[in-house]
Amino acid sequence: MPVSPLSVELLAVTPNALSLIYSAFRQCYHAGFVADMWPRLLSGAVDREVQADFVRKVLESGHDSPVEHASFTFAVAGISRACSHQIVRHRIASYSQQSQRYVDASDMDYVLPPAIARIPEAKARFEAFMSEVGNAYRDLKDILEAHGRKDKAKEDARFVLPQAAETKIVITMNCRALLHFFHLRCCMRAQWEIRALADAMLTHCKQELPAIFATAGAKCESLGYCPESTRFACGRYPTREQLFQPGDGEA
């Protein structure tokens, strides 16, 4: 039952994502039919930097719905069930997660929180409990199998598994959903595990589609101030209240 490290691999990106987003934006402001320009976009007749610059300028205006036409698919391993429960709260996405009902967890990997890892006595207690859980799971599985549950023994034995249990999941999000995900989960107020996942996903997105993701991240990075109240702000940026004090701009 080893500690499982985070792994984020990019499986797929919508082909010709930049040109697709560019053409979707252009259709909003173009009298013609963008399908007629599509062959020129694919051939390189319209420079990619010209496309990227157009996309960036329109995004800066606040018009962002056309970026939904492109999506990214990630394979993620080394996250806890606690983390995956947070991820699936993002509803504009598709998920395929490893099933504890069908996958044998006798040799369950787990995620060790850094705060626990730093304290020897906390780490020792945590690891002892993980060992206890593993023994309980195996014992229950064996007992259930002996009483005729066969392959279904796993679906009942899994009830003792902790939130620390490692899981694997495939995630697909369109670019607009990803921008929202990064706004929330790259924030210093996000839980450490999902923030690490979001940062790793963002690295892939910036490499693949910088026109959309070069300035993506926590919301404060695009706003230039923290949208949280002073009570919850981490201090990286001034809060809105600090920037816009009552009476500002008055004669």
Domain count, the chain: 3
Whether residues 71 and 172 fall in one domain? yes
Contact 172, 94 (CB under 8 A): yes
C-alpha distances (whole Å) from 164 to each of 109, 134, 209 are 9, 12, 33
Whether residues 84 and 199 fall in one domain? yes
What letter represents residue 67's amino acid?
V
Whether residues 91 and 212 fall in one domain? yes
Determine the pLDDT at residue 246. Answer: 62
pLDDT tens digits, 6-48: 999 999 999 999 999 999 999 999 999 999 999 999 999 999 9
Whether residues 84 and 190 fall in one domain? yes
Determine the pLDDT at residue 36. Answer: 96
Asked if residue 245 belongs to a domain, the reply is: yes
| pLDDT classification of 204: cutoffs 50, 70, 90 | very high
Whether residues 6 and 78 fall in one domain? yes
For residue 185, indicate whether it is catalytic: yes
Whether residues 197 and 239 fall in one domain? no
CATH at 210: 3.30.1360.170
Mean pLDDT of the chain: 94
Average pLDDT over residues 219-245: 84
Return the percentage of the chain with pLDDT > 70, whole number: 97
Whether residues 231 and 158 fall in one domain? no
Determine the pLDDT at residue 168. Answer: 98
| pLDDT classification of 185: cutoffs 50, 70, 90 | very high
The better pLDDT of the pair 60, 97 is held by 97
- Tokens 């990286």 correspond to 236
Asked if residue 182 belongs to a domain, the reply is: yes
| Domain that includes residue 233, residue range | 219-251
Determine the pLDDT at residue 247. Answer: 59
Asked if residue 105 belongs to a domain, the reply is: no
Determine the pLDDT at residue 251. Answer: 44
90: nearest Cα among 165, 178, 14, 167: 178
Asked if residue 33 belongs to a domain, the reply is: yes
- Is pLDDT above 80 for 92? yes
Catalytic residue among 81, 185, 189, 231: 185
Whether residues 8 and 125 fall in one domain? no
Average pLDDT over residues 179-201: 97
pLDDT tens digits, 123-169: 999 999 999 999 999 999 999 999 999 999 999 999 999 999 999 99
- Is pLDDT above 70 for 118? yes
Determine the pLDDT at residue 249. Answer: 53
- Is pLDDT above 60 for 112? yes
Average pLDDT over residues 210-235: 89
Lowest mean pLDDT, pick from 17-21, 95-99, 228-232: 228-232
Determine the pLDDT at residue 1. Answer: 65
Whether residues 94 and 209 fall in one domain? yes
Average pLDDT over residues 94-123: 97
**pTM (2 decimals)?**
0.92
Whether residues 213 and 223 fall in one domain? no
Determine the pLDDT at residue 47. Answer: 95
Asked if residue 107 belongs to a domain, the reply is: no
